[in-house]
Amino acid sequence: MIINAELIDEIEDLVELHNLNIERQMLPDNSNPFDLPNAFFKKLFRFEKEIMLQIITIMSPFMRNSRYSNAIPIHMKILTAISLFATGSYQTSIGQDFNLGLSQAMVSRAIKEVFNVSNQLFSNRYIRFPTNFDLNNIKRR
């Protein structure tokens, strides 16, 4: 009996899609990452939920809030970008993640906005580049 290779591939794709749908159904609420189990949340974002809430609270006033009904909420933009910063995953895989479900273009825009805001808010406070005086002292050591 000859089995069609295309048919086998199609069946394998259907099984994979079915398994993915089952995994997604097991998550409590895919629109609110804070409903994820703590370990899974920390794996995705590398922060505890309380710390992430503080980051969102600090950054939110500096983020653009869109008028469009299908706009990404500010907290999701921040979570999306931090997920990329934390894991180094590609933008497309972050957008396809269970709790985000965003296109690559949306992920890219969110990353750009969050990076710019975080750079303005945190770089001067937490990142200090050496001055010429500091560099000269380092050379002398």
46 vs 88, higher pLDDT: 46
What's at 42, amino acid-wise?
A: K
Highest mean pLDDT among 9-13, 26-30, 69-73, 74-78: 74-78
Separation of alpha carbons 124 and 113, rounded Å:
18
Contacts of 42 (CB under 8 A, 6+ apart): 48
Report pTM: 0.64
Tokens 């869109």 correspond to: 66
Q: What is the pLDDT of residues 76-119, one digit of tens each?
A: 899 989 988 888 876 545 555 545 567 788 888 989 999 999 99
Contacts of 32 (CB under 8 A, 6+ apart): 99
Looking at residues 29-35, what average pLDDT do you find?
70
Dihedral (CA of 7, 11, 13, 17) sign: positive
Task: Report whether pLDDT(13) > 50.
Answer: yes
Contacts of 52 (CB under 8 A, 6+ apart): 34, 41, 45, 79, 82
pLDDT at 16: 67
